[in-house]
Structure 1
Amino acid sequence: IEINSKKASKGNALRELAKKLNIKEDEVMIFGDQKNDISMFDIADFYKVAMGNAVSEIKERANYVTKTNNEDGIAYALRRLVFDE
């Protein structure tokens, strides 16, 4: 169970962090797999990577679907999308 303020979300937090670090939203890559990640996946300019084991709501919003958590999906996606391996 997760209990949060109605105003708190991962999307809002990352948007504010990027702003404070002077990072453009289209330079942010996010990873997610569960419904609590939807607020990040709803930010239009973020590059969205869904884990292979993600719920359908996340996969539908993703720019890219990687391998599962158990298959090192984040490392796999970074090698493909950032380092062009």
Structure 2
Amino acid sequence: MGAPANGLFRAINGALVQAEDRTWGDFGILVADPAMTVRLGQQQRLKSRGVRTGTSEQAARARSFHGVMIAYCRDHPMLTTAEALQPRP
């Protein structure tokens, strides 16, 4: 597992430890483009645990999401996009 994958799993595990009522399904990973979801080697492992991955456009169209959004590429545009997404019950 590479450094990005380790970072994702550490972020999720840290949040799970801090909030005992959270599950893997409470997490979403925001990626820059749809091809990124295919390139993430750990995607299948995360998906099997209930983590959702998508682009900002997909997240904006989602019918519901309540939980923790992780921006995979933490550059300024991606963080701005993640902050602009409103959680939905």
The question of a shared fold, defined as TM-score above 0.5 by the shorter chain, is answered with no
The TM-score bracket by the shorter chain reads 0.3 to 0.5
TM-score, normalized by length of structure 2? 0.42
TM-score, normalized by length of structure 1? 0.43
